[in-house]
Structure 1
Amino acid sequence: MSRRLQFIDQSAAHAGVPFRITSPIGPVLFLDDVASSHLLLSALFITARDDAPPPIATAAGEWRVELLAGYAHACVWRARFALPADRPSEYRWDGATYAVACDLTGDLRLAYVSCNGEEVGDMHREGSERNAMWERLRSEHQRRPFALMLHGGDQVYADEVTQGHELSHDWPERIPRAPSRAELDDLRYHLSERFLERYATLYAAPQFAWLGARVPSLMQWDDHDICDGWGSLRRSRTYSPVGQTLFAVARESFLVFQQATTDGDLPTRFADPEGQHLGWAVHGSDLRILAPDLRSERTRRQIMGPGGWAMMEAEAQHEVAGHTLLMSSVPLLGPRLSLLEALMVVIPRMQKYEDDLRDQWQSRAHRHEWRRMLRLVRDLARRDGHNITAVSGEIHLATRAVMDLRDGLQLNQLVASGIAHRAPPKGWAKFLGALASLRENPLSENPIRIEPLPGHSSRYVADRNYLLLERVSGNWSAQWDLETTGLTPALAL
């Protein structure tokens, strides 16, 4: 079962027959939580059906794998184990040793990525082109290791999984009114197999596989992990039997493949053990990573529901030393997108982009909720007396913004998007830059500025990219790695 032999036979899948895994995929590491000076980890494996992987071995002993989920021709397995959180460590699997930069107590580096794919044809892209930035990230880890890898949404582009089934082929434009239970069960099977295929393909890519086995991941989801615009589509779509089946399968797949868990077994970092929302927080040494769920409770009129807001308000009451990283899958600070929404009312051909703009905090539909979140972040910073950094993806551009929180504090918004999604036209970046010059201050006493990246003159950069976050002697900084121009100068946070 060598890691070096893993691959997927997709020739049958494209002919309409379920694909087959011919060698194990994994291990892929996930951080379950930090507790008692240890990293609590899960290692994920995908194998041919009933082909159980060997155990994980550490200095503390062996850790057996357990079955997590079964599919027509594959099984997903998990081994939970622990490594010390105050020094570099390693584990062994199948004759190979994997070094893990576990130390969260002193100087450390984190990587942030988002938008790992494209809406159309992503499964057919040439691997070295698609994963070029993953290869760069791997080289960066080899140069100076990352302790954690943060994934800010759209880890998988599932938009095409609905194709090939009678109930969902024309989703969301046309949906059947009253499908039978048997038809919905068949749809669930179809969607589950298609999600498996996508996740397995992504995790088998050598550029990601090498990193995923050595750097624990923390993931939150966004719309493409379900379907384009989930929650911003009309209620007649999302609450239809087909829509609810799609969401249920996407959520189940998210838990299995992005969290290495299932319902009833959520790691302790999740705020709601019942999983009504999937927000979580990790508290490390002088570091809090806070990731609200902006999809599970989303509707056209709200971004977060009661569970999500309860989590955020509870976190605002915690006194936290050090620094807070807030993962907002869609940017918390941005330009006046409400002007574009107003244009859509009078330009019919632009109305197809309505759900894309309604996805944003800046949408007119979410104005009250946006203000509520910004006040909460401001109060959180003032309670703890430290700056807060928000990291986001979603827009397929690199940019940053600053919000003055008063009392010498500020909210830095860093957007890195995407690691695999190709950049939009440079004209779009220039247009957004011009829109940003109009300013958008939802809290009049806390002005927002959209700023250029270090070493750049424009506010938005149209390049594939990822973000590096570093703490040295207690001081945080950030750098973007841009596909065309490389690493930016460091930005002090």
Structure 2
Amino acid sequence: MTQTTKAIGPILYLDHVDDQQFHLAALFILPKGAEMPALETSFGQVQQQVLTEYDAATIYRARFSLPPGAQEYLWNGETYPLHLNLQDDTRLAFVSCNGEETGDLDREGSERNVMWARLRAEHRAAPFALLLHGGDQVYADEVTDGHPLTQNWPSSIPDDPGDLSSLHHHLRERFLERYAALYTSPDFAWLAARVPSVMQWDDHDICDGWGSLARRATNSAVGREIFAAAREAYLIFQAAAVDGDLPARFADPHGGHLGWAIHAPGFRLVAPDLRSERTRRQIMGPGGWAFMETQPPLRPDERCILMSSVPLLGPRLSLLEALMIVVPRMQRYEDDLRDQWQSRGHREEWRRMLRLMVEMGRAGQNVIAVSGEIHLATRAVMPLDAGAVLHQLVASGIAHRPPPKGWARFLGALSTLGDDPIAGKHIRIERIPGQAGRYVAQRNYLTLDRRNGAWHACWQLEDSGRSPELAL
């Protein structure tokens, strides 16, 4: 049973933004029976509501709106300053992969969260307006442990599990445990109370390889119960929402897919859902593709920033998939490779998405894609039309330790082959400024700065420090 002995929060989210208002939500995890202090702004006290209950905790949400600029709110005797500016000069931070598959809750805090501490210090020096979380905000792989129906998931799946109410309760409580542990980390908690977050989920927010596992696993009664529990936890802890009450930035109010978009002055932030409709044969279903393909045309002065939890541009991983056929020991990586846009099983869908990027570039602006997932830092480019470029920026992960440097060198060698999924649009894996290799095996995060209308990116790397700026 999850023990909640102190208040956790506020965790601040951006619900949506319009020309005159930032619409925000603050999330709180309180011990059951504890009194919820009021949240206040300069406009008065904010109404709060109970989102849901757990065995030992109650989840509260307070939604409120503030105009752009330097603002603040008060809760429980503390004042939280905000830098609500998405126009003119502005700063965004991008993080991903906040954990590890095994034993993450047992890691020593200062080692695990060293990059969060750097991000906190950077915000103090030059504040961020928005914090983008690009997937694997939690590593939920161990939530299935401890229950007989999921103890050996996904290797062993009961054909007739019977009543799933016990499993439902077990999974809910274990998801709460993981989110509560992460949200009490001091540096994360400090930042999350002062910088609004927007979050896009990936497989570990559900379980390792969700959507790329065998259909027998994901379509089973137990598999659907795992997905339902993960989806509820995503809405609560990554969006301060529940079904039927999604923030306005979400494209489908019914939650059939969880893609969303934010329209800010001079740029549009678009985050398709690459997990809700995913199978081994598709990355997005009808809802997700309709969301992407009905995006309004970009204005000439508008830049698109696409959040793709899995990198949109990468090396020819289809060659590795072909190699797995003759090297059986490699077959344990099949799910990891099937997860990628570059997988042979998704190549037509990949081309479909890249053609959309070409269309977005016809507004006359470069397109920026930001991604996580691979536990390395890298970047890539693909030409669009009329001199525009698609920039792929990968920052992964902020807490997940990197793979061996040999794997980074291998991917760098593989990337020299290049790829042309669309004729005449050759993909190149490029080096991060200041780095000798194309893939950097260090923990990292990314910052995006707009100054005088021009965008620049920097990687903060655990060992190498801050990279030189990359003009976008």
TM-score range, shorter chain: over 0.9
Per-residue Cα deviation, 1:5-35 (whole angstroms, up to 9, x for no partner): xxxxxxxxxxxxx131111000000000002
Q: Which residue of structure 2 aligns with residue 286 of structure 1?
A: 266
Q: Which residue of structure 1 aligns with residue 137 of structure 2?
A: 155
How far does residue 406 in structure 1 lie from its aligned partner after superposition? 2.6
CA distance in 2, matches of 1:279, 1:51: 35
CA distance in 2, matches of 1:226, 1:284: 30
Q: Is the 8 A contact 2:25 2:240 kept in 1?
A: yes
Per-residue Cα deviation, 1:205-239 (whole angstroms, up to 9, x for no partner): 10100000000000000000000000000100000
SS in 1 for 2:24: strand
Q: Is the 8 A contact 1:316 1:380 kept in 2?
A: no
SS in 2 for 1:272: coil
Q: Which residue of structure 2 aligns with residue 242 of structure 1?
A: 222
TM-score, scaled relative to structure 2? 0.99
**What amino acid is aligned across from residue 409 of structure 2 in structure 1?**
K
SS in 2 for 1:430: helix
Q: Which residue of structure 2 aligns with residue 480 of structure 1?
A: 459
SS in 2 for 1:20: coil
Q: Which residue of structure 2 aligns with residue 357 of structure 1?
A: 337
Q: Is the 8 A contact 1:52 1:77 kept in 2?
A: no
Q: Percent identity?
A: 62
Q: Which residue of structure 1 aligns with residue 77 of structure 2?
A: 95
CA distance in 2, matches of 1:420, 1:406: 37
TM-score, scaled relative to structure 1? 0.95
Q: Which residue of structure 2 aligns with residue 489 of structure 1?
A: 468
Q: Which residue of structure 2 aligns with residue 12 of structure 1?
A: none
CA distance in 2, matches of 1:64, 1:128: 36
CA distance in 1, matches of 2:198, 2:5: 28
Q: Which residue of structure 2 aligns with residue 466 of structure 1?
A: 445
Check if 1:396 corresponds to 2:375.
yes
CA distance in 2, matches of 1:20, 1:168: 22
**What amino acid is aligned across from residue 352 of structure 1 in structure 2?**
R
How far does residue 322 in structure 1 lie from its aligned partner after superposition? 2.5
**What amino acid is aligned across from residue 397 of structure 2 in structure 1?**
G
**What amino acid is aligned across from residue 121 of structure 2 in structure 1?**
S
Q: Is the 8 A contact 2:209 2:336 kept in 1?
A: yes
SS in 1 for 2:294: helix
CA distance in 2, matches of 1:75, 1:35: 31
Q: Which residue of structure 1 aligns with residue 433 of structure 2?
A: 454
How far does residue 321 in structure 1 lie from its aligned partner after superposition? 3.2
How far does residue 64 in structure 1 lie from its aligned partner after superposition? 2.5
SS in 2 for 1:252: helix
How far does residue 165 in structure 1 lie from its aligned partner after superposition? 0.2
Q: Which residue of structure 2 aligns with residue 257 of structure 1?
A: 237
Per-residue Cα deviation, 1:111-150 (whole angstroms, up to 9, x for no partner): 0000000000001000000000000000000010000000
Q: Which residue of structure 1 aligns with residue 393 of structure 2?
A: 414
Q: Which 4+ stretches in 1 moved above 3 angstroms?
A: 316-321
Per-residue Cα deviation, 1:300-344 (whole angstroms, up to 9, x for no partner): 000000000000011154547331110000000000000000011
CA distance in 2, matches of 1:279, 1:320: 24
Check if 1:117 corresponds to 2:99.
yes
Give the count of matched residue pairs: 472
Of the candidates 24, 28, 34, which is equivalent to residue 51 of structure 1? 34
Structure 2: runs of 5+ lacking an equivalent? none
Q: Which residue of structure 2 aligns with residue 221 of structure 1?
A: 201
For structure 1, which segment, 48-57 or 110-119, has the greater mean C-alpha deviation from structure 2 after superposition? 48-57
SS in 2 for 1:326: strand
Per-residue Cα deviation, 1:276-310 (whole angstroms, up to 9, x for no partner): 00000000111110000000000000000000000
How far does residue 441 in structure 1 lie from its aligned partner after superposition? 1.1
Check if 1:81 corresponds to 2:64.
yes
SS in 1 for 2:211: coil
Q: Which residue of structure 2 aligns with residue 200 of structure 1?
A: 180
For structure 1, which segment, 189-198 or 315-324, has the greater mean C-alpha deviation from structure 2 after superposition? 315-324
Q: Is the 8 A contact 1:406 1:446 kept in 2?
A: no
CA distance in 2, matches of 1:170, 1:75: 31
CA distance in 2, matches of 1:284, 1:304: 25
How far does residue 108 in structure 1 lie from its aligned partner after superposition? 0.7
Q: 1:126 to 1:320 in 2, by over 3 A?
A: farther
Cα RMSD after superposing both structures: 0.9
Q: Is the 8 A contact 1:441 1:448 kept in 2?
A: yes
SS in 2 for 1:47: strand
SS in 2 for 1:248: helix
CA distance in 2, matches of 1:35, 1:51: 35
Q: Which residue of structure 2 aligns with residue 313 of structure 1?
A: 293
Check if 1:127 corresponds to 2:109.
yes
Q: Which residue of structure 1 aligns with residue 213 of structure 2?
A: 233
CA distance in 2, matches of 1:318, 1:230: 33
Q: Is the 8 A contact 2:51 2:242 kept in 1?
A: yes
Q: 1:386 to 1:248 in 2, by over 3 A?
A: same
CA distance in 2, matches of 1:318, 1:471: 18
**What amino acid is aligned across from residue 6 of structure 2 in structure 1?**
S
Q: Is the 8 A contact 2:96 2:445 kept in 1?
A: yes
Of the candidates 32, 37, 40, which is equivalent to residue 20 of structure 2? 37
CA distance in 1, matches of 2:431, 2:19: 41
Of the candidates 322, 328, 333, which is equivalent to residue 302 of structure 2? 322
Per-residue Cα deviation, 1:329-375 (whole angstroms, up to 9, x for no partner): 00000000000000111111111110100000000000000000000
Q: Which residue of structure 2 aligns with residue 69 of structure 1?
A: 52
Q: Which residue of structure 2 aligns with residue 7 of structure 1?
A: none
